[in-house]
Chains A and B, each alone.
Chain A
Amino acid sequence: MSSMHGITRADMQAVHLPRRRAVNRVMEVLATLTALLAVAILVIVVWSVAKRGAGALDLNLVTKNPVPFAFGPVEQGLANAFAGSLVLVGLATLMALPTGILIALYLTEYAPRAVRAGVSLVLDVLNGIPAIVIGIFVFGLVVVGRGQSGYAGAFALACLMLPLVTRSTMEVLLLVPGALREASLALGVTRWRTTLSIVLPQTIGGVLTGTVLAVARVAGETAPLLFTSSIVGQQTEWSPAHALQSIPVAIFELSESPDPADHARAWAAALVLLLFILLTSLAARWLATRGRRRLSTSR
């Protein structure tokens, strides 16, 4: 190998090959370790929640309401929190999903380039606003004077979901080949009809992915609900006209209780929440790969 490419053995020794090799090795190990750290954190969190929560995890947790000031063992659970979270997140999705899709459609199909860039930036900033700030904002806007309600809580959650849904929808809309839009427009079909019948059906997988991720994110939000939907009774309540209990708020309150049985229930609720988020994230992952496959075959 002496003269291949004109590099001699002497040349290679002259540039400190052993030292460069060592640095390369060290950086490789370092990078691998940090990647393992990320996995380790998740495993530790899941493990510790599972260990403490599994004991109190039974059917009562989701079927029975809490019994305050219970002396002695009483069958109780957090049914009101599960019902409330279901209504709050469902309502928030109903608010954020159509709005987010329409915003994404406007930005990708109609808006001039500069407007698209500007609004995208606004959405990214909105995405970065701390949840507690959204909570205060909705408190000032809706709750003051009217009192807490499920609507107010859902609205706060929807504010958090909106940028996530919009951005992920925009991403898949931009993946739809322009040739498909041209094919439809060249027939003399209107822009809106083209968008609705040709472009949008291509993006269902991506839209679902974004929605599921957003649902997983807001299902665990406590801060925006503290101001908007937290002063609640112990009964299961389905009507969003009243303030609704939710799992994250219930966990927060139980964690401050002096009763160790309450702590156990908080851990169990945390475990359920964690499993829900893990499952929805996996579902989102699966939907995303499916959606991408569909798009790539349509070229």
Chain B
Amino acid sequence: MIAPVQVRQSRPEVLDRVLAVEDLDAYYGGKAALKGVSMEIYKNLVTAIIGPSGCGKSTYIRCLNRMNDLVPGFRQTGTVRYHGQDITGSDVDPVAVRRHIGMVFQRPNPFPKSIYDNVAWGLKVLGMRNDLDARVERALTQAALWDEVKDRLKASALSLSGGQQQRLCIARAIAVEPDVVLMDEPASALDPIATAAIEQLMHDLKQDYSFVIVTHNMQQAARVADMTAFFSISRGDEGERWGELVEYDTTEKIFTAPADKRTEDYVTGRFG
């Protein structure tokens, strides 16, 4: 018996939609990982995706910039509209999609280059060569890393601490001026101080970007997100499991007055 999915959206009317996902199913090698996800993501907000392990959170945000194209055996149905244009078709160039929708990953993955080149390389390759130094400085400043690295820009990025590396990855992602920044559990490998720094910079930067952050830390979602989506695992008759969107609403609503019993159980810690 599958409980009916209840998605309430008490969104403020003034907001622009950046992404509109409709009836998204995702499969790995024929096995469903996500079914029937529909949700809209709004401009200049931080949208958090929460839910238990295996509920398809990461799969979901990787659908938003075609990162799953790289996974052998992956298939998806449904539409993902970016400013009204469907970006899921094979006629859409995933390179162009990712140019507008950037991503920061769970584990910091700086290039084995200098700190400066980590930020500058993308700019150079994408033809944003004018004012290179200024662009690098601005990105590093926005990522709250400039003061720590300004005297050693030529040092290897691999010499930085984990938290600094992750902020460098954020600087690298925002330097190329994307519209949306997807973050797949960006703080899961970091200590609380580094986590706080990243949460702060999301808060400061959301006037320029739209963030979607996957986290399994509910406090983090409550702290940084304007909107929160709760994903959960559904089980079929033959024991198959897939993720689905249970509830999507303002963060306040999700954490104080969730409409769905499963959301309530999860946010109050009674899950599982």
Contacts and interface: CB of A to CB of B under 8 A. Distances in A.
Contact of A188 (B105, B109, B112, B126): B126
B95 A189 contact: yes
In this complex, the member of A177, A180, A185 whose beta carbon has the largest number of chain B beta carbons within 10 angstroms is A185
A187 B98 contact: yes
A259 interface: no
A183 B117 CA distance: 14
B100 interface: yes
Contacts of B172: 183, 187
Contacts of B125: 187, 189, 193, 197
B54 interface: no
Given A113-B72, A187-B173, A188-B176, A198 B111 contact: yes
A191 B69 CA distance: 12
A202 B112 contact: yes
B65 interface: yes
Interface string B23-36: 00000000000000
A112 B72 contact: yes
A11 interface: no
A182 interface: yes
A182 B102 CA distance: 11
B70 interface: yes
A2 interface: no
Residue among A177, A181, A198 with max Cβ neighbours from chain B (10 Å):
A198
Interface residues of B, number: 28
Given A183-B111, A297-B112, A189 B158 contact: no
B65 A186 contact: yes
Given A113-B72, A187-B122, A180 B109 contact: yes
Interface residues of A, number: 24
A252 B48 CA distance: 74
B100 A183 contact: no
B96 interface: yes
A184 B123 CA distance: 11
B121 A197 contact: yes
Given A188-B100, A297-B112, A183 B169 contact: yes
A187 B111 CA distance: 12
A112 B70 CA distance: 11
A295 to B, nearest CB: 9
B173 A186 contact: yes
B173 A182 contact: no
Contacts of A186: 65, 67, 98, 102-103, 105, 173
B99 interface: yes
Contacts of B95: 185, 188-191
Interface of B: 65, 67, 70, 72, 95-100, 102-103, 105, 107, 109-112, 121-122, 125-126, 158, 169, 172-173, 176, 178
Interface of A: 112-113, 177-191, 193, 197-198, 202, 294, 297-298
Given A187-B172, A197-B121, 4 more contacts: A180-B111, A182-B70, A186-B65, A188-B95
Listed from nearest, the 10 A-B pairs whose CB atoms lie closest are A188-B99, A186-B103, A179-B109, A298-B112, A187-B122, A188-B98, A183-B109, A190-B95, A189-B125, A187-B176
12 contacts: A179-B109, A182-B70, A182-B109, A186-B65, A186-B98, A186-B102, A186-B173, A187-B102, A187-B122, A188-B178, A197-B125, A198-B111
